């Protein structure tokens, strides 16, 4: 079977995931809604997953894909905890606007 | 029996004092410090009598493998002389504090003994690392003593004390860097190895300057002296005595023991700059002392002038300069403790440090005023006092280096007389109606001890000279050889 | 491996104990268990273990080199376990108003410990990644663990957002490294890293990974989270973050850096140097104006991170790891001591302003003494452990500079040490603010007499003793990571 | 043909990602994100990593996004009431985005590795079987460790949301 | 034996001092007074013994105790040398000392701190003995400074009065200026000779070492500065008149007879060195001459009885230096001795007067005491005649020799010296007339209490008067016992002038000059009966003189004030600047910290922004920048 990367080129995947990663980062910077920020972080993680898979194919190696599983576990765990924190915040301030959380400074 | 016993006694004494409780603290502290002095004196006696004393009386044991540090307390003339100063002054200083109604006496006296321990350690250490540790360690007790038992406005005091600590700490950190740097060359901190580090010119310069910074701040040499007057004024009398009597001698001692042998070429090449700086300090301190209205500050600036001369002598790198420096260190230690004690006694009775508020004391107190007078005279280096011996050698060494240095430095005997007598006149003489109790027995004993030392060694300094001369000669040989 | 299993098992025992209503047993069991693990780890540490790097691929055969037990990882593991013992010992009193959650807290801390150990004992990047995530997630939870407290919420939220962002970066870095070498195994990566046809992705990945770790250790300019999170989190969590987490991160960073590519590029070192200087100076400068103790310690922690980064001025890997370990020990134990006192003083007040410490020297001299010594140790004053830590670091930097062939090397070294010295001087300013408050101010009038739980006192005193003991016998700590004379003697005398 | 597919998928991925960020309504964001995930799953399929693609869809779209949507619903956030950040910070965010993208892409372009041929090992490396073998042999320890991770997050989530019974 | 005796000689006064200090109060006033006197008397007796011994054997006695200072190039021991010169000095120091002690017993009887007074006096004698007996320069320096100290203590004896304290302080400090010179001189000599022992230096000089003349000149000049300080020469003379604040016996002993002659002693001691530096001698002669003239001119118009005597002392000391400058050491010594006699007598006499008037010192309030105080007057008259240089009084011989030497040396100096002598005659007789003649001008109460002083006061007066009368015998022109006696210690004897016509003429001129001075005084104060005007009315040249040429004011303006100004500058500017700089570092740190804190604005978005920028910076700088 032909290596799919022969056609596309690993570079393209690197650029794509880099861009996607940056978009995720942009989302974190751009929005003040915590939940959308979480989503942006998910985008970042997915960008990396994509890259891992691409490299996995590039090396014809399973480890990359295994790592993606771990990455997913991490993402899930993070989201679970993150949402729990978010709920706690919401209970206190009745909102999830991150810009309202500016009590600690200086 | 070796010199480490001194340190053990002092450290143990510090702990014992701390645990003995407020009621007994002062007595316990006095007992331990006296024992420490006794041991030091005995060791000094042994130093003259046993064969190969530096070996017999020294203590050396491996401490840390990496960095290679040896617990090496060396008994040589110089270190013993300085240890004598420390252990002799400590009981006196403790004695002077007897009348003070401090809170938390146990901590106070414990800290004094701890400080004595650290200072004695500084003098006895032959290992640079060890020396540095003791050097820094001595900062902590004095910091607390000044902070917690000091007088005056709390905010002002804090500012002064913190400035003092940070300033001296800053200086010593650079010294630490210098030590580390040489250590990289030698792989050992032992003084002998450090002396033989074979540094090139730039390195020597940097190391010399790093040491200089540490010492110039501690001594202090202008323009690094701004911490001094305020701290002397704000600290409790005992703290001021420790600082001026012993602690600043650490730096003067270090110039001779560490700085010059380690960086002899640079020192030789630029010694006039440093001598000039020190001598300038003499004049500067004297003139400032003239303008002071606060008794303790005046004494502080006078101390600045005196130690400037000592440092200048040390930087001449001659036997006379070294020996004069050592003798004058001892003499100044005693006299300055006495003077601050006199100031303290006046403050206890009059509750003021302002010279303008004093006067007419002599009328009421023949004993106190006589003793104060003698101290003043010793401080202005009247011949037949110990201070004269030191000052004479110092000025002579300066004259050998450059006659103008001696002339300018010698102005101290004029200016010194000027401000000290003026102070004495305003403080003690004149007419006055306020009651002033004469010295108590304890106060009197402290004074008598100090004065006895000053007069005895003023006439017969020979034992001390014989004690220190061989060691100083040895150091000078290093310096010369390495040239 | 067995260490990890034991600790995880302890965590699960905690959870089960809660189910069986054996809440009182949780902490004792955990502590006893951890002490046993500690003894085991230290024993292994002393007995042998390969040197770090050379030992990377050797020991972990049984687990596909997922975990290695070289001296480096074992030494740091024992430190982490020790810290965890302290932290867990502090828990019951700290959480006395949240008794039902105690098991959760303790278990979380135990799991956090496994994460930390995984971070230093990894032989495979996946273990590293999971370790750092376990650590981070535990910390997110702990930071936000007072749901009703807005500050705690905010701290948790901030930490989570930024931490997740950094995790993404770390992951990205790992992916690129994988891309370049085709393996997550450090041993493989190490060999590949030396081959000439290594794609550039590797170094890019490594840099991104480093940035992620710089975030974790709170180095400038990735330090912004630290003060806010430290301030907002419950004090015990702050203690955890500032000691265990920070030390684990720097240990992992160092190991990663030299496990992955034994020869770091000059540019990278330069960047690390700049970051180190910036951290030291900014941390200490900003700390000067803080009035909240936790926040102050956060900035102090930033500066300590800067100091620890000096370790990358490498002159001999063995010396460097030993120095790093020593610094970590000194810093973290002093931190524990300080926090034990902070907890004692502020535990029931809810805020950690410096004025709460007024007159502590009079009301509770022992605690004041402990805090004083801890602060002096952090400031690097002999004869406390912190002094030797700084001393070793400075020695290393200077030795690197002096042994470098070019003049630039020594100039860099001088700049670094002088910056370090200057920042040390600055640090004295704020450490002493606290000391002054304790000793020269009168106790606040409205303050009730301080009731200090036994655990707090015990932790404070034990850590205080450790600070002094390590200061007096520095070889004690170094022995764990290096074959010192002490160890030789012990082996000779058949003690171990 | 594959290249075209790649471009299309990539376009979808990026576009939905952007839309996720720009949607005012969080629900819309979530839906765009799901789309994004699907497109990424498309990439996985293109690599012939079917198992991964399925897991990806299940975990991300099925678990994570549902969790998020659930939270959004719970908090009643499906309104477009979010205030924009200040213009300055938005510009700064955009600028930072531009810069970081530029820097990273430029770095990668600069470090472009000329790869003439991509290896084909011919071995099976991404079937469920192989993955299972690797995961449970080589990667057994991290696999187990991941359980601790999940356990921690579980305890954490419980800890953060558990109601307190003071005397419990 | 000799050692013990020498120590007895030295330490008897010291023992007296110690006893008086520690037990003075207990043993009572008289006892302490007699004890002090006895202590000095013991010294006198021992001195006499040694004096006779050395006079006959002509061998100096040297006593070596122990090493004191140990320097690289030389050591200094506590060594004492009793040779002709020192014994001569010891003779009159202890002799006059004993008399003055005796005098003080009565004079100070009303003072509550009498034991202290005697203690100080004894201490002074002790230091003076040290100064004289020391066999090297540094032992001399101990005494040198020690007598300065005692002078300080005694001038400020009535310490309640801050003006007196000022005077004491001034004396000490001015002395210290000289002492610095002395010290520097010692340094240079030590550097050149590697010893400070007189005998060794002399041997070195005589063995014709190649000596760096420049340095030697500087050294001797420095030593001369020291002498100026101690012996009140220009420019360091202003302390002496102020020193009259002390009790009168002090003025007599310290500020007339003994201490102030220490400078002459030192120069004579080192005559073999000064001989090598003629330039310094020249300077010395000029300084001496000018001092004598200026002091005498100031003395012309003073109204305080002791001030007049003080200026007269300065003037006489100037003459002595003139003699030294001319290389005539023996003659200077001769004048020292005669001056000691008559000036001590004058001071004690004035003390007697002051005692009678209960502290009144202003001559404008005296007069007519001749009738009441017969003995005082008689002794005073003899001494006045002596100081005025009328034959056959002792002063005539010594002063005449000086003038003669000066004449042969340099006419200008001679003229100056002669002028000073004439003035001396004038103001001394002015003093005499104003005090003892005409009518009493004081208050009625004072008049009521006028009385002759008791025997303890008059006895020393009589003894001294006799000595002042016959003291000239020790060095009669042409047949000088003194010159012979001193020959061993004087390296190069002064040229002894045969009494030719010139010499007789000079003698005649001197006598005539003195008579002229006396005549003017007589005309002014006896015939016209003038009384000096009140202070405010003194104007013109008299005003200038009365205010001592405003030298004190000038000194204040050019030395003291500038020092204080520099002090203010240091205190207010430099100190503040340095301190400000140090604090500035702290403030800068705090300021930077605040700025850093301001960046920490609490916004996650901002933090992340920095994070991202940090990434860009790091990645960019590593990978993109060349």
Scanning the structure block, which residue is given the tokens 């005992």? B238
- E-chain CB neighbours of C227 within 8 Å are 600
**How close does chain E come to C251, measured CA to CA in Å?**
21
Q: CA-CA distance, D52 to D58, in Å (whole number)?
A: 10
Chains B and D are touching, with contact defined as 3 or more CB–CB pairs separated by less than 8 Å: no
DSSP classification of residue C217: T
Residue of E nearest to A104 (CA): E602
The reply to whether residue E597 touches residue A106, judged by beta carbons under 8 angstroms, is yes
Tokens of C417: 């040490």
The reply to whether residue D71 touches residue A83, judged by beta carbons under 8 angstroms, is yes
The reply to whether residue A27 touches residue D20, judged by beta carbons under 8 angstroms, is yes
Q: Is E562 exposed, middle or buried (0-12, 13-18, 19+ CB in 10 A)?
A: exposed
Query: For B448-474, what is the mean pLDDT?
Result: 91
How does pLDDT run across B17-39, given as a tens digit for each residue? 988 888 888 899 999 999 999 99
Q: What is the ipTM of this complex?
A: 0.92
Q: Please tell me which of the candidates C126, C158, C231 has its beta carbon nearest to residue A70.
A: C126
Tokens of B24: 């007994």
Q: CA-CA distance, B429 to B361, in Å (whole number)?
A: 6
- Region of C63 (left: φ > 0; alpha: ψ -120 to 50; beta: rest) is alpha
Tell whether the torsion through CA atoms of B371, B376, B379 and B383 is positive or negative.
Answer: negative
pLDDT at C490: 67
Scanning the structure block, which residue is given the tokens 């109060």? E25
Domain covering A4-100 assigned CATH 1.10.357.10 in the classification: no
Query: For B373-378, what is the mean pLDDT?
Result: 91
Q: CA-CA distance, B156 to B160, in Å (whole number)?
A: 6
Scanning the structure block, which residue is given the tokens 């300013």? C429
Q: CA-CA distance, B394 to B377, in Å (whole number)?
A: 18
Q: CA-CA distance, E33 to E528, in Å (whole number)?
A: 45
DSSP classification of residue B438: P
Secondary-structure percent of chain C, ordered helix, strand, coil, rounded to 5 = 80, 0, 20
Nearest one of E486, E504, E503, E506 to E494, comparing CA atoms = E486
Query: Is B285:B301 a contact under the CB 8 Å cutoff?
Result: yes
The residue of D103, D104, D106, D107 whose CB has the most chain E CBs within 10 angstroms, and thus the best one to mutate to test that interface, is D103
Helices within E28-136 (DSSP H only):
29-57, 84-107, 114-133
For the cut 60, the answer to whether the pLDDT of residue E461 exceeds it is yes
For the cut 50, the answer to whether the pLDDT of residue C23 exceeds it is yes
Tokens of C90: 């502090």
The reply to whether residue E191 touches residue B284, judged by beta carbons under 8 angstroms, is no
Query: Is C382:C412 a contact under the CB 8 Å cutoff?
Result: no
Query: Is E147:E131 a contact under the CB 8 Å cutoff?
Result: yes
The reply to whether residue D77 touches residue A35, judged by beta carbons under 8 angstroms, is yes
Query: Is B133:C383 a contact under the CB 8 Å cutoff?
Result: yes
Chains D and A are touching, with contact defined as 3 or more CB–CB pairs separated by less than 8 Å: yes
Domain ranges of chain A: 4-100
Share of chain B above pLDDT 90, in %: 43
Whether omega for the bond prior to residue B67 falls within 30 degrees of 0, making it cis, is yes
CB count, 10 Å around CB of C1?
15
Residue of A nearest to D75 (CA): A90
pLDDT at C58: 47
Q: CA-CA distance, B116 to B112, in Å (whole number)?
A: 6
Query: For C427-452, what is the mean pLDDT?
Result: 83
C289-293: Cβ within 8 A, 24+ apart = C289/E590, C289/E593, C289/E594, C289/E597, C290/A106, C290/C227, C290/C430, C290/E597, C291/C353, C291/C354, C291/C355, C292/C231, C292/C351, C292/C352, C292/C353, C292/C354, C293/C342, C293/C346, C293/C352, C293/C353, C293/C354, C293/C356, C293/C357, C293/C434
Q: CA-CA distance, E434 to E303, in Å (whole number)?
A: 9
The reply to whether residue C204 touches residue E623, judged by beta carbons under 8 angstroms, is yes
Domain ranges of chain D: 1-82, 84-168
The reply to whether residue A105 touches residue E601, judged by beta carbons under 8 angstroms, is yes
Tokens of E15: 């023992």
How does pLDDT run across C375-408, given as a tens digit for each residue? 999 998 888 999 999 999 999 999 888 888 888 8
How does pLDDT run across B239-284, given as a tens digit for each residue? 999 999 999 899 999 999 999 999 888 988 898 999 999 999 899 9
Query: For C160-182, what is the mean pLDDT?
Result: 93
Helices within E233-373 (DSSP H only):
239-242, 248-252, 262-269, 271-274, 278-299, 305-325, 329-356, 369-372
pLDDT at D146: 93
pLDDT at E554: 84
pLDDT at E456: 82
Query: For E430-456, what is the mean pLDDT?
Result: 80
Q: CA-CA distance, E349 to E465, in Å (whole number)?
A: 10
Helices within B351-482 (DSSP H only):
366-379, 386-401, 403-428, 441-459, 462-482
The reply to whether residue A29 touches residue E608, judged by beta carbons under 8 angstroms, is yes
For the cut 70, the answer to whether the pLDDT of residue B483 exceeds it is no
Domain covering D1-82 assigned CATH 3.40.50.720 in the classification: no
Q: CA-CA distance, C398 to D69, in Å (whole number)?
A: 57
Domain that holds residue C403: 264-496
Domain ranges of chain B: 4-482
Please, which residues bridge with residue A13 across strands? none
How does pLDDT run across B116-151, given as a tens digit for each residue? 999 999 999 999 999 999 999 999 899 989 888 888
Q: How confident is the model at residue D149 (pLDDT cuts 50, 70, 90)?
A: very high
Nearest one of E561, E527, B103, C132 to A77, comparing CA atoms = C132
**How close does chain E come to A78, measured CA to CA in Å?**
18
Number of domains in chain C: 1
Q: CA-CA distance, C136 to D152, in Å (whole number)?
A: 10
Query: Is E80:E10 a contact under the CB 8 Å cutoff?
Result: yes
In sequence order, what are the residues at sequence separation of 6 or more whose Cβ sits closer than 8 angstroms to the Cβ of residue E87?
E47, E50, E51, E54
Q: CA-CA distance, E551 to E557, in Å (whole number)?
A: 10
Separation in Å, CA C320 to CA C59, C251, C285, C405, E546: 22, 11, 27, 20, 85
pLDDT at C447: 67
Q: How confident is the model at residue C358 (pLDDT cuts 50, 70, 90)?
A: confident
Scanning the structure block, which residue is given the tokens 């590293």? C128
DSSP classification of residue B64: E
Separation in Å, CA E445 to CA B406, E449, E451: 58, 6, 12
Domain ranges of chain E: 277-538, 555-624
Nearest one of B124, B142, B35, B114 to B83, comparing CA atoms = B124
For chain E, what is the mean pLDDT?
Answer: 85
Nearest one of C82, C109, C136 to C26, comparing CA atoms = C109
How does pLDDT run across A45-102, given as a tens digit for each residue? 999 999 999 999 888 888 999 999 999 999 999 999 999 999 888 888 888 888 888 8
How does pLDDT run across B92-117, given as a tens digit for each residue? 999 988 888 788 888 899 999 999 99
The terminus-to-terminus CA distance of chain A in angstroms comes to: 60
Beta-strand relationship, E475-476 and E75-82: unpaired
In sequence order, what are the residues at sequence separation of 6 or more whose Cβ sits closer than 8 angstroms to the Cβ of residue C396?
C310, C311, C313, C314, C315, C319, C320, C323
Chain A CB within 8 Å of residue D114 CB: no
Q: How confident is the model at residue D75 (pLDDT cuts 50, 70, 90)?
A: confident
How does pLDDT run across E384-440, given as a tens digit for each residue? 888 888 877 888 888 888 888 888 888 888 888 888 888 888 888 888 888 888 787
The residue of A69, A70, A90, A96 whose CB has the most chain D CBs within 10 angstroms, and thus the best one to mutate to test that interface, is A69
For the cut 90, the answer to whether the pLDDT of residue C465 exceeds it is yes
For the cut 70, the answer to whether the pLDDT of residue C212 exceeds it is yes
For the cut 70, the answer to whether the pLDDT of residue E495 exceeds it is no
């Amino acid at each position: 079977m032909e290596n799919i990367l022969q056609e596309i080129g690993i570079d393209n995947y690197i650029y794509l995931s880099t861009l996607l990663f940056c978009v995720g980062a942009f989302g974190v910077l751009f929005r003040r809604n915590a939940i959308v920020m979480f989503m942006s972080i998910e985008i970042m993680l997915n960008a990396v997953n994509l890259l891992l898979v691409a490299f996995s194919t590039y090396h014809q190696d399973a480890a990359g894909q295994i790592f993606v599983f771990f990455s997913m576990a991490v993402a899930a765990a993070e989201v679970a905890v993150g949402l729990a924190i978010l709920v706690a915040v919401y209970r206190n301030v009745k909102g999830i606007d991150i810009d309202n959380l500016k009590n600690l400074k200086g | 029996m070796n010199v480490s016993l001194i340190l053990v006694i002092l450290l143990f004494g510090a702990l014992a004092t701390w645990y003995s409780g407020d009621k007994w603290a002062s007595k316990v502290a006095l007992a331990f410090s006296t024992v420490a002095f006794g041991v030091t004196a005995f060791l000094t006696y042994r130093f003259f009598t046993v064969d190969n004393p530096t070996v017999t009386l020294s203590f050396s044991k491996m401490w840390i493998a990496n960095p290679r540090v040896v617990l090496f307390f060396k008994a040589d003339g110089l270190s013993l002389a300085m240890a004598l100063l420390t252990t002799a002054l400590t009981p006196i200083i403790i004695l002077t504090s007897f009348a003070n109604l401090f809170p938390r006496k146990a901590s106070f006296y414990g800290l004094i003994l701890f400080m004595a321990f650290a200072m004695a350690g500084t003098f006895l250490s032959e290992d640079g690392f060890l020396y540095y540790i003791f050097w820094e360690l001595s900062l902590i007790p004095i910091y607390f003593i000044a902070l917690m038992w000091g007088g005056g406005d709390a905010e002002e005091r804090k500012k002064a004390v913190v400035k003092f600590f940070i300033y001296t700490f800053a200086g010593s950190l650079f010294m630490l860097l210098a030590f580390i740097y040489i250590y990289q060359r030698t792989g050992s901190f032992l003084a002998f190895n450090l002396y033989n580090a074979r540094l090139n010119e730039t390195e020597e310069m940097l190391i010399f300057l790093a040491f200089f910074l540490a010492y110039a701040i501690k001594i202090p040499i202008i323009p690094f002296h701004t911490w001094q007057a305020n701290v002397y004024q704000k600290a409790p009398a005992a703290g001021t005595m420790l600082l001026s009597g012993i602690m600043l001698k650490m730096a003067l001692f270090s110039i001779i023991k560490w700085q010059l042998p380690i960086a002899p070429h640079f020192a030789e090449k630029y010694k006039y700059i440093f001598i000039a700086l020190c001598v300038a300090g003499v004049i500067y301190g004297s003139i400032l002392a003239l303008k002071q209205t606060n008794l303790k500050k005046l004494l502080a600036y006078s101390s600045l002038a005196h130690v400037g001369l000592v440092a200048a002598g040390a930087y001449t790198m001659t036997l006379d300069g070294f020996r004069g420096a050592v003798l004058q260190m001892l003499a100044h230690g005693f006299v300055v403790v006495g003077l601050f004690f006199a100031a303290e006694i006046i403050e206890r009775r009059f509750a003021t440090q302002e010279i303008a508020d004093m006067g007419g004391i002599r009328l009421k107190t023949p004993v106190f005023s006589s003793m104060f007078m003698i101290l003043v005279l010793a401080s202005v280096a009247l011949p037949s006092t110990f201070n004269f011996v030191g000052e004479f050698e110092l000025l002579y060494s300066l004259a050998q280096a450059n006659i103008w240095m001696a002339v300018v430095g010698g102005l101290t005997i004029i200016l010194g007389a000027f401000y000290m007598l003026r102070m004495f006149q305003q403080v003690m003489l004149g007419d006055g109606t306020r009651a002033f109790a004469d010295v108590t027995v304890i106060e009197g004993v402290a004074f008598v001890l100090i004065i006895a030392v000053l007069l005895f060694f003023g006439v017969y300094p020979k034992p001390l000279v014989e004690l220190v001369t061989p060691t100083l000669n040895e150091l000078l040989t290093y310096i010369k050889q390495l040239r | 491996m067995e260490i990890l299993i034991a600790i995880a098992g302890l965590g699960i025992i905690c959870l089960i104990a809660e189910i069986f209503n054996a809440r009182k047993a949780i902490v004792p069991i955990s502590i006893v268990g951890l002490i046993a693990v500690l003894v085991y780890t230290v024993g292994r540490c002393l007995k042998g273990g390969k040197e770090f790097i050379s030992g990377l691929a050797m020991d972990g055969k049984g687990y596909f080199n997922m975990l290695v037990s070289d001296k480096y990882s074992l030494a740091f593991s024992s430190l982490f376990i020790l810290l965890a013992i302290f932290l867990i010992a502090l828990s019951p009193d700290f959480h006395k108003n949240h008794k039902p959650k105690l098991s959760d807290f303790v278990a979380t801390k135990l799991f956090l410990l496994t994460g930390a150990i995984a971070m230093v004992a990894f032989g495979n990047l996946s273990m590293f990644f999971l370790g750092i995530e376990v650590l981070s997630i535990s910390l997110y939870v702990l930071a936000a663990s007072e749901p009703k407290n807005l500050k705690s919420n905010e701290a948790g939220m901030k930490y989570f957002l930024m931490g997740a962002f950094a995790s993404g970066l770390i992951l990205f870095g790992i992916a690129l490294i994988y891309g370049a070498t085709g393996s997550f195994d450090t041993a493989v990566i190490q060999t590949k890293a030396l081959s000439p046809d290594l794609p550039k992705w590797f170094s890019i990945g490594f840099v991104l990974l480093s940035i992620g770790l710089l975030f974790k250790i709170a180095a400038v300019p990735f330090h912004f989270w630290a003060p806010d999170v430290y301030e907002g989190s419950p004090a015990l969590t702050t203690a955890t973050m500032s000691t265990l987490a920070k030390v684990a991160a720097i240990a992992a960073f160092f190991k990663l850096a030299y496990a992955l590519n034994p020869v770091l590029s000059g540019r990278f070192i330069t960047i690390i140097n700049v970051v180190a200087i910036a951290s030291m100076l900014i941390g200490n400068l900003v700390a000067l104006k803080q009035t909240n103790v936790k926040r102050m310690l956060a900035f102090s922690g930033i500066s300590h991170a800067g100091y620890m980064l000096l370790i990358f001025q490498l002159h001999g890997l063995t010396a460097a790891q030993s120095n790093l370990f020593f610094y970590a020990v000194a810093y973290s134990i002093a931190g524990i001591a300080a926090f034990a006192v902070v907890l004692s003083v502020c535990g029931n007040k809810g805020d950690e302003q410096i004025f709460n410490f007024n007159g502590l020297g009079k009301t509770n001299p022992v605690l004041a003494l402990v805090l004083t010594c801890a602060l002096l140790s952090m400031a690097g004053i002999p004869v406390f452990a912190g002094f030797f830590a700084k001393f070793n670091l400075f020695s290393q930097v200077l030795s690197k500079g002096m042994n470098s062939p070019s003049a630039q090397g020594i100039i860099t070294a001088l700049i670094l040490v002088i910056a370090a010295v200057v920042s040390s001087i600055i640090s004295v300013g704020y450490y002493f603010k606290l000391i002054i408050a304790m000793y020269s101010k009168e106790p606040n009038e409205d303050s009730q007499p301080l009731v200090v739980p036994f655990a707090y006192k015990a932790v404070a005193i034990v850590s205080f003793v450790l600070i002094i003991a390590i200061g007096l016998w520095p070889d004690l700590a170094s022995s764990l990571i290096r074959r010192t004379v002490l160890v030789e003697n012990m082996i000779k005398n058949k003690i171990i | 043909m594959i290249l075209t597919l790649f471009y299309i998928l990539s376009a979808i991925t990026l576009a939905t990602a952007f839309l996720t960020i720009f949607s005012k309504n969080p629900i819309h964001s979530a839906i765009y994100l799901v789309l994004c995930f699907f497109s990424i799953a498309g990439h996985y399929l293109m690599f012939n990593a079917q198992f991964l693609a399925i897991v990806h869809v299940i975990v991300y779209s099925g678990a994570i996004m549902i969790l998020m949507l659930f939270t959004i619903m719970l908090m009643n956030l499906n309104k477009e009431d979010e205030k924009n950040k200040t213009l300055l910070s938005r510009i700064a965010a955009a600028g930072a985005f531009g810069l970081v993208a530029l820097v990273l892409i430029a770095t990668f372009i600069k470090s472009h590795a000329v790869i003439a041929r991509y290896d084909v090992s011919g071995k099976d490396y991404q079937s469920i079987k192989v993955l299972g073998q690797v995961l449970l042999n080589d990667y057994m320890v991290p696999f187990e460790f991941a359980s601790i991770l999940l356990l921690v997050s579980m305890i954490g989530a419980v800890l953060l949301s558990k109601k307190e019974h003071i005397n419990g | 034996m000799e050692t013990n005796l020498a120590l007895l000689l030295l330490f008897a006064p010291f023992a007296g001092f110690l006893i008086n200090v520690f037990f003075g109060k207990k043993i009572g006033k008289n006892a302490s007074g007699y004890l002090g006197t006895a202590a000095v008397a013991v010294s006198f007796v021992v001195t006499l013994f040694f004096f006779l011994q050395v006079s006959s054997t002509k061998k100096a006695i040297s006593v070596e105790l122990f090493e004191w200072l140990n320097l690289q190039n030389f050591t200094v021991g506590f060594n004492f040398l009793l040779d002709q010169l020192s014994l001569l000095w010891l003779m009159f120091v202890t002799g006059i000392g004993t008399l003055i002690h005796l005098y003080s017993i009565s004079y100070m009887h009303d003072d509550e701190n009498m034991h202290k007074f005697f203690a100080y006096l004894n201490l002074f004698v002790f230091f003076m003995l040290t100064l004289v007996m020391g066999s090297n320069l540094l032992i001399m320096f101990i005494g040198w400074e020690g007598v300065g100290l005692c002078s300080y203590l005694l001038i400020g004896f009535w310490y309640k009065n801050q003006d007196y304290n000022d005077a004491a302080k001034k004396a000490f400090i001015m002395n210290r200026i000289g002492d610095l010179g002395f010290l520097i001189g010692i340094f240079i000599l030590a550097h050149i000779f590697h010893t400070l022992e007189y005998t060794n230096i002399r041997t070195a000089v005589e063995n014709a070492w190649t000596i760096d003349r420049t340095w030697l000149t500087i050294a001797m000049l420095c030593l001369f500065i020291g002498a100026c300080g101690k012996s009140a020469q220009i420019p360091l003379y202003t302390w002496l008149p102020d020193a009259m604040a002390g009790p009168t016996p002090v003025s007599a002993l310290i500020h007339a007879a003994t201490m102030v002659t220490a400078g002459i002693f030192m120069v004579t001691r080192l005559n073999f060195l000064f001989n090598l530096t003629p330039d310094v001698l020249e300077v010395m002669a000029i300084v001496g001459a000018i001092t004598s003239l200026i002091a005498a001119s100031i003395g012309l118009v003073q109204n305080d009885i002791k001030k007049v005597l003080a200026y007269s002392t300065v003037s006489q000391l100037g003459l002595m230096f003139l003699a030294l400058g001319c290389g005539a050491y023996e003659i200077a010594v001769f004048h020292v001795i005669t001056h000691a006699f008559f000036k001590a007598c004058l001071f004690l006499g004035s003390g007697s007067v002051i005692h009678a008037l209960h502290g009144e010192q202003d001559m404008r309030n005296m007069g007519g005491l001749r009738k009441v105080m017969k003995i005082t007057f008689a002794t005073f008259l003899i001494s006045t005649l002596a100081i005025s240089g009328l034959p056959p009084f002792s002063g005539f011989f010594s002063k005449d020799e000086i003038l003669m030497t000066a004449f042969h040396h340099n006419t200008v100096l001679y003229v100056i010296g002669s002028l000073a002598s004439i003035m001396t005659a004038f103001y001394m007789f002015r003093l005499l007339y104003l005090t003892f003649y005409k009518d009493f001008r004081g208050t009625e109460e004072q008049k009521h209490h006028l009385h002759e002083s008791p025997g303890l006061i008059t006895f020393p007066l009589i003894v001294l008067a006799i000595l002042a009368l016959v003291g000239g015998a020790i060095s009669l022109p042409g047949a000088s016992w003194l010159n012979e006696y001193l020959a061993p210690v004087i390296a190069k004897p002064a040229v002894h002038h045969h009494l030719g016509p010139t010499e007789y003429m000079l003698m005649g001129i001197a006598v005539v000059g003195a008579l002229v001075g006396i005549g003017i005084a007589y005309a002014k104060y006896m015939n016209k009966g003038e009384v000096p005007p009140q202070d405010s009315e003194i104007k013109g040249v008299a005003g200038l003189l009365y205010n001592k040429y405003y030298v004190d004011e000038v000194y204040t303006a050019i030395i003291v004030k500038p020092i204080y100004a520099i002090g203010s500058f240091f205190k207010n500017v430099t100190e503040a600047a340095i301190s400000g700089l140090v604090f500035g570092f702290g403030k800068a740190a705090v300021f930077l910290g605040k700025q850093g804190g301001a960046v920490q604005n609490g916004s996650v978005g901002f933090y992340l922004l920095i994070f991202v920028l940090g990434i860009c910076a790091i990645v960019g700088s590593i990978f993109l920048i060349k």
